[in-house]
Amino acid sequence: MAPRKVIVKELTVNNPINQVFDFFSNVKNMEIGGAIKSVTKGEGDWWQFDHTVAGKGKMRVTPVSDFGILDHEFVGAGLEWKVYVRVVPNEEGSTTTWTFMRPDGLTDEQFQEQLKGFDLEINNWKKYLEEN
């Protein structure tokens, strides 16, 4: 099987790695991005929410703080996404990257279209992190 299309998004802020890791470890903070609303704890490790594009969805985060890993699974609109998230030190600040792999059920073009709004979420998180 050939490798899937990948899109990488990035956020660099003046906040230290531990502060950014803790921020993104709390799924409720995803609401600040603007695409996810009404986050509630679901069964097991899952969080449920309303997503502006996918409708009802759920997410499970797998944090490994020693390595800055915040990988998560996102399920919504009949799609299952695996997202590989890393928070790394960057001088006195930090850089967070999200590596998205195209889920089954989307063409490469649909995949790109689905992630267009993520840049707005990143900008909202950046503003919040740098002001608080």
Dig out the tokens for 111 from the structure.
């995949």
What is the model's pLDDT at position 98?
A: 97
What is the model's pLDDT at position 52?
A: 84
Strand 55-64 to 36-41 pairing: unpaired
What is the model's pLDDT at position 117?
A: 86
Q: Using H for helix, E for strand and C for coil, what is the string for 66-126?
A: HHCEEEEEEEECCEEEEEEEEEEEECCEEEEEEEEECCCCCCHHHHHHHCCCHHHHHHHHH
Q: pLDDT tens, position by position, for the chain (132 residues)? A: 889 999 999 999 999 999 999 999 999 999 999 999 999 998 999 999 998 877 899 999 999 999 999 999 999 888 899 999 999 999 999 999 999 999 998 999 999 988 888 999 999 999 999 998
- Residue 92, phi-psi category: left (phi > 0), alpha (psi -120 to 50), beta (remainder): alpha
d(CA 45, CA 58): 10
Residue 21 dihedral angles phi and psi, to the nearest 5°: -60, -45
What is the model's pLDDT at position 97?
A: 98
What is the model's pLDDT at position 67?
A: 95
Residue 78 CA: distances (Å) to CA of 41, 53, 81, 103, 106:
20, 12, 10, 10, 11
DSSP state of 33: G
